[in-house]
Homo-oligomer: A and B are copies of this chain.
Amino acid sequence: MTYAAPLAQADLSKPPVDAIALVECIQACFDCAQACTADADADLAEPQVQTMIRCIRLCLDCADICQATGRILSRQTAFDPATARAALQACVQTCKVCGDECEHHAQHGFAHCQTCMEACRRCEQACNAVLSLLPA
């Protein structure tokens, strides 16, 4: 949460939703994008890579949608609630599916999938928190 918080405070725009929830969500999106990128790569290094194909694919998708959502939420000027809501809903859905897949592999002892699952769960929750605060 190194830069998102001071940047949110420095911005002249009125934050569209509670600033604490927004900053947490932005950070969770960027962190999850990194975790999913790294987990797809760690899956590729597994001797049984054939069993990780769905995990790799979902991690790549999740990295892309988390990154787009994190960027969209980082913009507070001329904030458009409908656009934010659509991105957040896509992010929640993808983090859910990717988190479930990672949880499955975490239960079989893959530490990198455990870490990625935690990133997906946190991002899903943070997106849901902002969704509940968005103006209708």
Contact = CB atoms under 8 A, between A and B. Distances in A.
A115 interface: yes
Contact of A75 (B4, B61, B89): B61
A128 interface: no
A119 B4 CA distance: 11
A97 B79 CA distance: 12
A21 interface: no
Given A3-B35, A31-B3, A76 B118 contact: no
A83 B71 contact: no
Contacts of A42: 7, 10-13, 76-77
Copy total for this chain:
4
A9 to B, nearest CB: 8
A68 B64 contact: yes
A66 to B, nearest CB: 9
- How big is the A interface, by class? 35 or more
A41 B72 contact: no
Interface in A1-43: 2-4, 6-13, 26-27, 30-35, 37-42
A5 B12 CA distance: 34
Contact of A90 (B57, B76, B89): B89
User: 8 nearest interchain CB pairs?
Assistant: A86-B93, A10-B112, A10-B111, A86-B90, A3-B35, A90-B90, A54-B78, A64-B68
